[in-house]
Amino acid sequence: MRLWSDLLSDEHASVRTLDAGAFVHLERQIPDRRLQPRLRLAARLDRSGEGPVVSHEISVGVSPVSVVSVDLAHRSAWASPSPADQFFRDGVGVEPNPDLRGERVPDELEVAVAAPLRLGSSHLELTASAYRSDIRDHIVWAPDFRFVWSPRNVDVRRRGWSVGGVLALERGLRVAAEFSDVSIRYVGPDGRPGSQVAYRPRRSATVSLAWSPGPWSLNVTSIHTGARFPVPAPVNELPGFWTTSAAVTATFDVRGWRLEPLLRIRRLMDERAPFISSVPEAGRTLRLEVRIGPEP
Amino acid sequence: MKPSLSSQNQKRTQTMRSDLHFPPPLVASMLCALVALVGCGDSSPAGPEAPSGEPTAVVVNSVELTLTVFPLDDPDDRRTIALGPEGTPVGGAVRGAMAAIPMGVVPALAIVDLLAGEVVRTVALPEGSGATGALFVNDSIVLVGNPGLDQVSPVNAVRGTVGEAIPAGGYPQGLVQASGRIFVLNAELVDFSPDGPGTLTVLDAETLAPVGQVVLSGQNTADAVVGPGGSLMVLTSGRWGEGDGGLSVVDPDALVELDSHSGFGDLPGSLAVLSSRRLFASSWSFGLIEWDPTEENFVRGPDDAHEPGGIPSSAGVALDPEGGLWSLIPECQGPGRVLRLNSELQVLAEIPVGVCPSAILFTQL
């Protein structure tokens, strides 16, 4: 039997690629009891198909009062395309794209505020952040005129903000909630932002409850996926939906061995709402894992 | 026969496909026969009434799953009508204020009220049938191609019901009416590749009964228009990347292929007849080629095709009721455009539409 594929021949396959990077990080707490300033510097060098790429992070933070910290960061980032997106995705109506370029965030600005509070024997941490983080050559899956889906690079304008809180109560009980609003829009040929990227919900939220009495641990999380457009235009909107998942884990030590069973239930209420319009969801699914290893 | 769907439009209406160039059929009265023949029930000695209403274009945006609707005289007055979150529509049919849009891989027909600007019903078709190609046979009945089942389905667009399927050839993907007959364009595709010559299944326009079949010389039947002298000009796209598109000339009465011509390049997709000497075919690969049906030679072949707007590619070509030529710009990553051209193929207007325009239809609203 003779096998042949043009993907494996030198004239069709991409030349070997090597993605490598180096990273350095410095962090300094500057002594000042009044403001408690912090400085963080990071740099990264990546080797990409387009040449060397340098990414950085500069962040400064202060705590003007003991229960509030404010951080301001300026960053850049780069991520290479996955080999799966370039060469190995397969399926009906799906095609990889060997010409994909890496994603680049040239100029990100973020401000974040955190406020840890103590409420009796409980701890509450409130957080809020806002950012501007446009992406060049963002990888987005989209159909072409043959309705074949493949990943492609697009420039997008991204702005977002989020608020959240975590309340840690007694007896290992923890409640968390977060809401985010992210505008990620195509950039048109004229440089102006267009519609929200297909299948990127503008708004999302998460509410979770965790409880860890003794060796057991229970986690229930509800996630809201907001309304989204299935096309690169503000039409044919798909409604938002909630899904709830639960996980129960435990840790037992028996005769020198540690047993860690995990039961995970996805779509606990048998929710059927699909994220992608034409891809149905299976509803409630259960997964049981048991990890066995020597007792540490 | 029932009058036009929209209660806002009680006037006589006319229907147009983008590539229909014979005199359009007119709806006359509720007592007309199944086929909308000119003059049925019309006692005017001067002949049938001229169609009224504002000439309007309806663009099918395939990737965006919308229609863009605008008056020909005021293209800035554009409206977008969403068809739904899934499907692969590439064409459709219009009749007055009603549009019937087959949804491609989703076996359904979207019925759109163009005046109200919304889908009024989505008619489910047989499972696995697919939906490509549509033709109004009267005010309420639409024939829809089912490429997945090698048949066409008659759909009552007013009631939302589907009648008994009519057998067709392999992979029907279009329908055209000529000479009192309906021609189903069968691409004869298996796994999206031609598996033999293209064919036409011929139905009686009154009874929808099969009356014959025509086997063509080319492969992958894509489009057809009534040409000079009433003959049917049938475009065959050929095979992907082989450049073997062709044109067949069919006698719609004798149901025979009179002649065939090759050299129409790579995957030509649509036809428009501007005059007895000027036939245009579009392709993503080269733009618009021009063929002289009388001399039977290329005025502009694939190697020196017209490039409307400077773009060597066209997603479709069509002729409007006023004789204007239109070309669709194949932009599928962002908002598309359609070009209105003069007889010299110069751009008169460039109208923004949705993502990936694939067809332009004309009606009166």
| From A142, A233, A238, residue closest to B66, measured CB to CB | A233
Angular region, B248: left φ>0, alpha ψ -120 to 50, beta rest: beta
- Distance CA(A206)–CA(A221), nearest Å, equals 7
pLDDT band, very low/low/confident/very high, at A34 (cuts 50, 70, 90): low
Task: Write down how long chain B is.
Answer: 365
- Distance CA(B222)–CA(B245), nearest Å, equals 10
Interface of A with B in 192-211 (CB under 8 A): 194
Distance from CA of A5 to the nearest CA of B (A): 18
Reply yes or no on whether the pLDDT at B9 is more than 60: no
Reply yes or no on whether the pLDDT at B324 is more than 90: yes
- Distance CA(B359)–CA(B79), nearest Å, equals 16
pLDDT band, very low/low/confident/very high, at B31 (cuts 50, 70, 90): very low
pLDDT band, very low/low/confident/very high, at A12 (cuts 50, 70, 90): low
Reply yes or no on whether the pLDDT at A8 is more than 50: yes
State the number of CA atoms in the 13 A half-sphere of A83 facing the CB. 7
- Distance CA(B111)–CA(B141), nearest Å, equals 11
Contacts 24+ apart (CB under 8 A), B300-307: B301/B263, B301/B265, B302/B243, B302/B263, B302/B264, B302/B265, B302/B266, B305/B265, B306/B280, B306/B345
Instruction: Tell me if A143 and B63 make a contact (CB, 8 A cut-off).
Output: yes
Chain A contact present for B331, CB below 8 A: no
- The angle at the Cα of B91, spanning B90 to B94, to the nearest 5 degrees, equals 155
Which distant-in-sequence residues (6+ apart) come within 8 Å of B7 by Cβ? none
Chain B contact present for A232, CB below 8 A: yes
What residue type is assigned to position B240 of the chain? W
- Distance CA(A219)–CA(A224), nearest Å, equals 17
Percent of chain A with pLDDT over 90: 52
- Distance CA(B178)–CA(B231), nearest Å, equals 9
A149 against A20, higher pLDDT: A149
Chains A, B: CB contacts within 8 A come to 65
pLDDT of residue A146: 79
pLDDT of residue A143: 83
User: Closest Cα partner for B178 from B232, B110, B102?
Assistant: B232
What torsion do the CA atoms of B269, B272, B277, B283 make, to the nearest 10 degrees? -30
> Residue A85: helix, strand or coil by DSSP?
helix
Reply yes or no on whether the pLDDT at A57 is more than 60: yes
pLDDT of residue B38: 34
Chain B contact present for A295, CB below 8 A: no
Instruction: Tell me if A235 and B64 make a contact (CB, 8 A cut-off).
Output: yes
- Distance CA(B209)–CA(A202), nearest Å, equals 52
Interface of A with B in 159-188 (CB under 8 A): 186, 188
pLDDT of residue B6: 34
What residue type is assigned to position B80 of the chain? T
Q: Identify the weakest region by mean pLDDT among A2-11, B16-25, B73-82.
A: B16-25
Beta carbons within 10 angstroms of residue B331's beta carbon: 21
Chain A contact present for B241, CB below 8 A: no
| From A145, A188, A235, residue closest to B356, measured CB to CB | A145
Interface of B with A in 42-71 (CB under 8 A): 62-66
pLDDT digits (tens, 9 = 90+) for B188-246: 999 888 999 999 999 999 999 999 999 999 999 999 999 988 999 999 999 988 999 99
Q: Considering chain A, what is the average pLDDT of its residues?
A: 87
Beta carbons within 10 angstroms of residue B348's beta carbon: 11
User: Closest Cα partner for B59 from B235, B344, B318?
Assistant: B318
- Distance CA(A178)–CA(B6), nearest Å, equals 48
Which distant-in-sequence residues (6+ apart) come within 8 Å of A225 by Cβ? A201, A204, A240, A241, A242, A243, A275
Reply yes or no on whether the pLDDT at A283 is more than 70: yes
Chain B contact present for A6, CB below 8 A: no
- Distance CA(B156)–CA(B150), nearest Å, equals 20
- Distance CA(B80)–CA(B355), nearest Å, equals 11
Identify all chain B residues contacting A273, using CB atoms and an 8 Å cutoff. Answer: none
Identify all chain B residues contacting A137, using CB atoms and an 8 Å cutoff. Answer: none
Q: Identify the weakest region by mean pLDDT among A185-194, B120-129, B276-285.
A: A185-194
Give the bridge partners for A138, in sequence order. Answer: A154
Describe the strand order of the beta sheet including B347-355 as a list of residue ranges. B316-319, B325-329, B335-341, B347-355
Reply yes or no on whether the pLDDT at A94 is more than 90: no
Identify all chain B residues contacting A186, using CB atoms and an 8 Å cutoff. Answer: 334
pLDDT digits (tens, 9 = 90+) for A195-222: 999 999 999 999 999 999 888 899 999 9
The separation between the first and the last C-alpha atoms of chain B, rounded to the nearest angstrom, is 20
- Distance CA(B184)–CA(B211), nearest Å, equals 12
B247 with B260: CB under 8 angstroms? yes
pLDDT digits (tens, 9 = 90+) for A190-200: 888 989 999 99
- Distance CA(A237)–CA(B288), nearest Å, equals 35
> Residue A13: helix, strand or coil by DSSP?
coil
Which distant-in-sequence residues (6+ apart) come within 8 Å of A221 by Cβ? A206, A207, A208, A209, A244, A245, A246
B200 with B183: CB under 8 angstroms? yes
pLDDT of residue B292: 96
Beta carbons within 10 angstroms of residue B338's beta carbon: 24
Identify all chain B residues contacting A236, using CB atoms and an 8 Å cutoff. Answer: 64-66, 82-85
- The angle at the Cα of B210, spanning B208 to B212, to the nearest 5 degrees, equals 140
Instruction: Tell me if B315 and A143 make a contact (CB, 8 A cut-off).
Output: no
Give the bridge partners for A244, in sequence order. Answer: A222
- Distance CA(B123)–CA(B106), nearest Å, equals 11
- Distance CA(A172)–CA(A211), nearest Å, equals 5
| From B82, B105, B330, residue closest to A236, measured CB to CB | B82
pLDDT of residue B115: 96
Residue of B nearest to A141 (CA): B333
Instruction: Tell me if A232 and B64 make a contact (CB, 8 A cut-off).
Output: yes
The complex's ipTM works out to 0.75
pLDDT digits (tens, 9 = 90+) for B46-87: 434 445 789 999 999 999 999 999 999 999 999 999 999 999
User: Closest Cα partner for A291 from A265, A263, A259?
Assistant: A259
Chain B contact present for A89, CB below 8 A: no
> Residue A129: helix, strand or coil by DSSP?
strand
- Distance CA(A139)–CA(A81), nearest Å, equals 8
Helix ranges, chain A (H): 83
pLDDT band, very low/low/confident/very high, at B15 (cuts 50, 70, 90): very low
User: Closest Cα partner for B170 from B143, B142, B190, B191?
Assistant: B190
Chain position carrying tokens 């298996």:
B190
> Residue B70: helix, strand or coil by DSSP?
strand
Reply yes or no on whether the pLDDT at A258 is more than 70: yes
pLDDT digits (tens, 9 = 90+) for A111-144: 999 999 888 889 999 999 999 999 999 999 888 8
Reply yes or no on whether the pLDDT at B334 is more than 90: no
pLDDT of residue A95: 86
Beta carbons within 10 angstroms of residue B109's beta carbon: 26
pLDDT digits (tens, 9 = 90+) for B151-201: 999 999 999 999 999 999 999 999 999 999 999 999 999 988 899 999 999
B113 with B5: CB under 8 angstroms? yes
pLDDT band, very low/low/confident/very high, at B3 (cuts 50, 70, 90): very low
Helix and strand numbers, DSSP H then E, in chain A? 1, 16
Which distant-in-sequence residues (6+ apart) come within 8 Å of A9 by Cβ? none
Chain A contact present for B82, CB below 8 A: yes
Residue of A nearest to B334 (CA): A232
Provide the token pair at A254.
Answer: 């028996």
User: Closest Cα partner for B4 from B27, B33, B20?
Assistant: B27
Percent of chain B with pLDDT over 70: 86
Instruction: Tell me if A231 and B284 make a contact (CB, 8 A cut-off).
Output: no
